[in-house]
Amino acid sequence: MGFNSFRFILLFLPALLAGWYILNRFEKYTVADLFLAGMSLYYYYTFGAFFPVILLVSMAVNYGLGMLVERSSDKGKRAIKIIGVIFNLALLFYFKYLGFFVDNINQVAGLTLTARQILMPIGISFFTFGQISFIVDRANGDAPVYSITEYLLYMTYFPKLIQGPIAFHKEIIDQFRDRTKRHFDSDTFARGVMSFIIGLGKKVILADTLSSAVNYGFHYTYYMDTLTVIVVMLSYTFQIYLDFSGYCDMANGVSLMLGVRLPTNFNSPYKAATAKELWQRWHMTLSRFFIKYVYIPLGGSRKGKVRTIINVLIVFVLSGLWHGAGWTYICWGLMQGLLVVWDDLGIVGVKGSVTENSGRARKYLLRDKPLIMVPKFVGNAMTFLMFVISLIFFRSQDMTYAIQMFKQFFFFTYPGFLYRTASQLEIAENYLPRQLFSQLGISGGETIVYMATMLVILAVCGFIMTRRNTVEIVENTRFDKKTVAGLAIVFVWSFISLSNVSTFIYFQF
């Protein structure tokens, strides 16, 4: 029961909102919290019957360790922190990485070990990081004592449970403690609806449409020509952003309807002029988690240039591994880390970049000022291009397919596979144009329609990436008749398209 389903929109969400506001209207705050936690667990249950059990066991262990902190010495707190981190990582390893680990042991040692097939709980990477942030902060004295109800609500809160953002405990619990946020506010609710509709449109109208061509292209990697690879990679670059940011928009929208604001996860990342800036804009809550709990504890930039480079690469390799158990993800993370290191070296600088004009002089590893300065549009183009290329690793099913895709990309061929890829975009919206060409007897009508469909969709996606992001739109929009009409059209269009619904890309992480 994803956000983009009839069941969620027509049944679950109305029942949830009605129950939440009725209970809070009569000041039954604890009951309201338990109601929301129960509905969140039910929502999680719809993805797998045993998933809530894993989550509750994880919560019980972490909350128990957190309570022990109050009665422990400094040495005991350090021990609790280590035990908590090991427990959470072990749980994540068992469900997500055990098969990958065993396969690699077999290849290296020539063994035939087997690992039983384990269904990975959806969102385990997200809620595990939430647990780690809690237990580390408790042991460090940065998290207060929460009641079991507050902690239950924080961990199970469904808008962030499945696919993030990775919200810290204080960000969520403090809002639930604020009684003023529990009363219905029409303006906040309307902006929540707006955010949800925009996210639904991103996912259903654009991302799901592109997914057909992307899946086809990566399935037939060995048949791809250079031009088709470029189109497929652009399609995937737009798809993954629209899919993930669309989910976050919907999550934030639902949360705003409940009176709670989630942390921003995207800030127009494809506008970035450097790799470092891109990671200040893309999946922002994951980046800040790794900075706070990995990069800074490793020494950050305080222990010399070489150590700084190593720390950056460690963070990005772990980020790649967090996304998936495979060498393709590790290579993707390493490539992103190398691009950030290149940016930090200061060999090439970008005029007017965010990192350059952030209020203080930018510190580079090798020099005070960049050796070469390029215009911002050059930085934008190069950053986007390198991110597109890196996604070959991210999307390919294994390293063999990734290497083949790189070959097709860099060594020009043109056997004419583009039409077959474009023909996967056989959507309801292009039915009338196809029928018109057919009735007029125009030769190659279908080819024209499919090619035009792909070009239009890519152009629309590119245009969207240059506009304000959803957070900016939602915060600054005035609800006039034109806005309401536009939202109604997007919602109806998306709602009609739900029959072609697909799961979110980040569900697998």
- Residue whose token pair is 């199970």: 156
Residue-wise DSSP of 441-487: T-TTHHHHHHHHHHHHHHHHHHHHHHS--HHHHHHH----HHHHHHH
> SS in 3 state form for 120-154?
CCCCHHHHHHHHHHHHHHHHCCCCCCCCHHHHHHH
Q: Could you tell me which of 315, 288, 318 has the C-alpha nearest to residue 168? A: 288
The answer to whether the peptide bond before residue 263 is cis (omega within 30 degrees of 0) is: no
What distance in Å separates the CA atoms of residue 88 and residue 293, rounded to the nearest whole number? 14
Write phi, then psi, for 415 (nearest 5 degrees).
-85, -5
C-beta of residue 35 within 8 angstroms of C-beta of residue 234: no
| Interior angle at CA 289, CA 337 and CA 153, nearest 5 | 150
Of residues 326, 336, 457, the one with CA closest to residue 395 = 326
Which residue out of 169, 183, 283, 323 is catalytically annotated? 323
Dihedral (C-alpha) 154, 155, 158, 163: value to the nearest 10 degrees? Answer: 120
- How open is the CA angle 102-506-215, to the nearest 5 degrees? 85
Active site residue 323: yes
Q: Active-site residue numbers?
A: 323
